[in-house]
A and B are shown apart, each in its own frame.
Chain A
Amino acid sequence: MKKFVCIALVVLSQLLTWNSELGTALAAPISGEIAVAVFFEPLNQGQTKIDQINVDAETTLQFSLFISGLALTSTSVFSFKGAEFQAFEIVAGMVISFRNVLIFAPNILEVDDDPFWTIQFAQPNPGLVGVPLRMFIDELASPLDLSKLLAPTLDDPLQFRKLISQMALNLWGVRFSVTMLIANFGTFNQPSFHSGLIFEAGGVTVGGAEVIALTYLGARQGWECFGECKPLERYFEGRVVPDFEFQEEKLIIRNLTIAGVTLGAEIAFDFMTITLSQIVLSLRASVMGAVIQQKIVLNDLATPSFVSFGWTVQLGDGLFEIEFIDPNGLFQFPAKRLSFFVQWEAISFKDELVLQNPLGLLHTMEVTAEFESFRFRSQTAFLGGLINGFYNQKIEASWGMVGPGTWAWLVSIEAQLRREYLLYVSPSMTVKF
Chain B
Amino acid sequence: MKPLQVVLCLLVVLGALTGCEGSYRTQVTVGTLNLPAGGIGVVRISILNPPDAKMIQVGPIGLLTFNPSVIQVISLTGVNGFTLFGSAINNTMGWVQFAASFPGGSIRPIVTMDFGVLEIPIIEMVVQAVGPVGAQTALTITAVDLFTDRVGNPIPIGPPIAGQVVIIAP
Query: A-side interface residues toward B, CB under 8 Å?
Result: 44-47, 115-116, 127, 130-132, 134-136, 138-141, 145, 148-149, 295, 308, 315-318, 323, 325, 327, 335, 337-338, 340, 342, 349, 351-356, 358-362, 364, 383-389, 391, 418-419, 421
**Residue from A47, A323, A364, A389 within 8 A of B151 (CB atoms):** A47
Residues of A within 8 A of B103 (CB): 127
Residues of A contacting B61 in the complex (Cβ-Cβ under 8 angstroms): none
Q: Is B7 an interface residue (CB 8 A)?
A: yes
Residues of chain B lying within 8 A (CB to CB) of residue A386: 11, 14-15, 18-20
B79 to chain A, nearest CB (A): 7
A354 to B116, CA, bound (A): 6
Evaluate contact between B20 and A388: CB separation under 8 angstroms: yes
Q: Which residue of A lies closest to B78 (CB)?
A: A130
Stretch of B33-41, B48-56, B90-98, B134-142 lying at the A interface: B48-56
B111 and A362 form a contact (CB under 8 A):
yes
Residues of B within 8 A of A342 (CB): 3-4, 7
Question: Within B112-132, which residues are at the interface with A (CB < 8 Å)?
Answer: 112, 114-119
Partner of B115, one of A148, A308, A316: A308
Note all chain A residues with C-beta closer than 8 A to B26. Answer: 383-384
A130-B81, A148-B104 given; A387·B116 CB < 8 A: no
C-alpha spacing A57/B167, complex, angstroms: 56
Residues of A within 8 A of B29 (CB): 358
> Which chain A residues lie closer than 8 Å to B51 at the CB level?
383-384, 391, 419
Residues of A within 8 A of B110 (CB): 115-116, 132, 134-135, 138
B25-A359 in contact (CB<8A): yes
CA distance A352 to B114 in the complex (A): 12
Chain A residues lying within 8 Å of B24, measured Cβ to Cβ, are 383-385, 388-389
Are the C-beta atoms of B81 and A361 separated by less than 8 Å? no
A364 touches which of B14, B23, B111 (Cβ 8 Å): B111
Contacts of A138 in B (CB 8 A): 108, 110-112
Interface centre among B48, B114, B115 (most CB of A within 10 A): B115
B115 close to A335 (CB less than 8 A): yes
CB contact between B118 and one of A44, A115, A338, A362 (< 8 Å): that residue: A362
- What are the nearest 5 A-B pairs in CB distance? A384-B25, A360-B118, A354-B116, A386-B20, A318-B3
* Chain A residues whose C-beta falls within 8 Å of the C-beta of B57 in the assembled complex: none
Taking the closest CB of chain B, its distance from the CB of A185, in whole angstroms, is 22
Q: Is there an interface contact between B108 and A316, defined as CB atoms closer than 8 Å?
A: no
Interface size class of B (residues with CB under 8 A): 35 or more
Q: CA–CA, A323 to B111, complex, Å? A: 13
Supplied contacts A45-B151, A148-B104, A354-B116, 9 more A-B pairs, CB within 8 Å: A131-B105, A140-B108, A352-B111, A355-B18, A361-B18, A362-B118, A384-B25, A384-B51, A388-B21
Q: Which of A139, A141, A385 has the most CB of B within 10 A?
A: A385
Shortest Cβ distance from B80 into A: residue: A132
Q: Distance (Å) between the CB of A421 and the closest chain B CB? A: 7
21 A-B pairs within 8 Å (CB atoms) are namely A44-B151, A45-B150, A115-B115, A116-B110, A132-B110, A140-B108, A149-B104, A149-B105, A325-B115, A337-B115, A354-B118, A359-B27, A359-B48, A362-B118, A383-B49, A384-B23, A384-B51, A385-B18, A385-B19, A388-B22, A389-B25
Tell which of A139, A318, A419 touches B7, judged by Cβ atoms closer than 8 Å.
Answer: A318
Residues on B with C-beta less than 8 A from A385 are 18-20, 22-25
Residues of A with C-beta under 8 A to B153: 46
Taking a contact as CB atoms under 8 Å apart, the answer to whether B48 and A360 are in contact is yes
Binding site for A on B (CB under 8 A): 2-4, 6-7, 10-11, 14-15, 18-27, 29, 48-49, 51-52, 79-81, 103-112, 114-119, 149-151, 153, 158, 161
A358-B161 contact, Cβ under 8 Å, with A337-B116, A383-B109: yes
Chain A nearest CB, measured from B91 CB (Å)? 27
Supposing A315-B3, A318-B3, A318-B6 touch, asked if A356 and B104 sit within 8 A by C-beta, the answer is no
Q: Which residue of B lies closest to A133 (CB)?
A: B81
Given the complex of chains A and B, what is the CA–CA distance between A387 and B24 in angstroms?
11
Say yes or no: A340-B7 contact (C-beta < 8 A), given A386-B14, A389-B24: yes
Closest residue to B10 on the A side, CB-wise? A340
What residues on B are CB-neighbors of A364 within 8 Å? 111
Contacts known (A44-B151, A418-B52); A295 close to B114, Cβ less than 8 A: yes
Residue from the set A359, A387, A389 with the largest chain B CB neighbour count within 10 Å: A359
State the CA gap A405–B53 with chains docked (Å): 50
A44–B153 alpha-carbon span in the complex (Å)? 11
Contact of B105 among A47, A130, A145, A383 (CB under 8 A): A145
Q: How far in angstroms is the closest Cβ of chain A from B59? A: 24
Q: Once the chains are docked, how many angstroms separate the CA of A96 from the CA of B2?
A: 54
Across the interface, name the chain B residue whose C-beta is closest to A319. B3
User: In the complex where A317-B3, A353-B14, A387-B20 touch, is A134 in contact with B116 (Cβ < 8 A)?
Assistant: no
Task: Note all chain B residues with C-beta closer than 8 A to A327.
Answer: 115, 117
> How far is A145 from B54 in the complex, measured between Cα atoms in Å?
13
A394 to B4, CA, bound (A): 23
Closest approach, in angstroms, between the C-beta of A188 and any C-beta of chain B?
A: 23
Chain B residues within an 8 Å CB radius of A355: 18
Q: Which residues of A contact B48 (CB under 8 A)?
A: 356, 358-360
Chain B residues closer than 8 Å to A388, beta-carbon distance: 20-24
A44 nearest in chain B by CB position: B151
Contact status B81-A135, CB under 8 Å? yes
Residues of chain A contacted by B15 (CB below 8 angstroms):
386-387
Q: Are the CB atoms of A130 and B79 closer together than 8 Å? A: yes
